[in-house]
Each structure stands twice: as C-alpha cells, then as structure tokens.
Amino acid sequence: MKHLTLTELRTKLGNRSRSAIYADLAAGRLPQPIKLGGRIYWAEEDIDAHLRSLRDKAA
C-alpha cells in the first residue's frame, strides 16, 4: 500500500492548495490521514476510492 504525502496529494488533486485540502478534511470531503511520526499521510487506495465514488455520483 502506497501512502501519499501532502505534496503528492496536492498533485493528485489537481494542485489544490494546502488550505483547500485542510478545509475539505474539516468538512469531511476527503478521507482522514494517518499520522506516522510527525508527518501525515493518506493511503493512496483510499483517495482513489474516494475519487471514484465522486465520479460515479456525478455520472
């Protein structure tokens, strides 16, 4: 399982700003990250599944 850093997540989401990502997290629009040491990471498969569900809802 690959984990994404905030920078990688920003790129995957079309270069969204850091503040926009944190706003999405607070509003429940993105899966919550996991904290390892002093850094946060997102499971890439969770992000991919979330994006697929958004795409399916829009279709």
| Closest by CA position to 9, among listed 18, 19, 29 | 18
30-55 burial: b if 16+ Cβ within 10 Å, else e: beebeeeeeebbbeeebbeeeeeeee
For residue 39, the enclosing domain spans 3-58
Average pLDDT over residues 44-58: 92
Domain count, the chain: 1
pLDDT, residue 57, reads 87
Q: What is the model's pTM? A: 0.86
Q: What is the pLDDT of residues 19-45, one digit of tens each?
A: 999 999 999 999 999 999 999 999 999
Token pair for residue 39? 């850094």
Given a cut of 90, whether residue 10 has pLDDT beyond it is yes
